[in-house]
Amino acid sequence: MPTINVQLFEGRTPEQKRAFVKAITEATCATLDATPESVDIILHEIKKEHWATAGRLWSEE
């Protein structure tokens, strides 16, 4: 059973998330020969003030 954890900034609409998990599920099934029912996707929404790159918080961009 593939379990895919995705970290992304918060703020996406339910429609965007729905389209994203559908596309990831389809790609996973096609490449790993898995069934859709075996694919779990966990979305971790992160606030920009909790994420930094190159020593800078994304909330400061």
Question: Is 36 assigned a catalytic role?
Answer: no
CATH topology of domain 3-60: Macrophage Migration Inhibitory Factor (3.30.429)
Domain residue extents for the chain:
3-60
Q: 58: which residues sit within 8 A by CB, 6+ positions away?
A: 9, 48, 49, 51, 52
**Catalytic residue (choose from 1, 2, 23, 37):** 2
The confidence score (pLDDT) of residue 38 equals 98
The confidence score (pLDDT) of residue 30 equals 98
Banded pLDDT at 1 (limits 50, 70, 90): confident
- Whether 61 has a pLDDT exceeding 80, the answer reads no
